[in-house]
Amino acid sequence: MLINLSNHPKNKWSEKQLIAALRKYKSVVDLPFPLISPNANTLQVKKKAEKYLKQILKLLKSSEDKKNAVHLMGEFTFVFHLATMLKNKSISTIVSTTNRIVEEREGKKIVTFNFVRFREY
């Protein structure tokens, strides 16, 4: 099972990304990324990460898959704290890598991200 903890639910992933995830992890479960206030202090962010760690552990406990991981992308301090907690529990934690393509049209930048691969933290 791949737990997708990001602002990008699996139904918005490219076909290439979804196929890569399913080949390796058999299933993808979305866990919506929390809202992190820019006014939150470090302790508040860390407590939110601890709360999400508990949810992830519960999901992983119910997994029948041999390979499990957490796809973790979002607000930097939350990601740092949660990735550290996950790695301390020997839970595979990954990020998706992309090619960033920028086009200018009529004075506006249009950015497209093309999935390349998953990479371990």
H or E stretch including 90? none
**CA 100-23-75 angle, 5° bins:** 40
Q: Which of 88, 83, 74 is nearest to 121 (CA)?
A: 83
- Radius of gyration (Cα) for the chain, nearest Å? 16
pLDDT band at 65 (very low <50, low <70, confident <90, very high): confident
Q: What is the residue-averaged pLDDT of the chain? A: 96
Tokens of 59: 């999901």
Residues 89-114 pLDDT 10s: 999 999 999 998 999 989 899 988 89
CA distance 82 to 26: 23
Whether 13 shows a pLDDT value over 90: the answer reads yes
The structure's pTM equals 0.91
Every domain of the chain and the residues it spans? 2-120
pLDDT score recorded for residue 111? 87
pLDDT score recorded for residue 86? 98
pLDDT score recorded for residue 66? 85
Whether 37 shows a pLDDT value over 90: the answer reads yes
Whether 25 shows a pLDDT value over 90: the answer reads yes
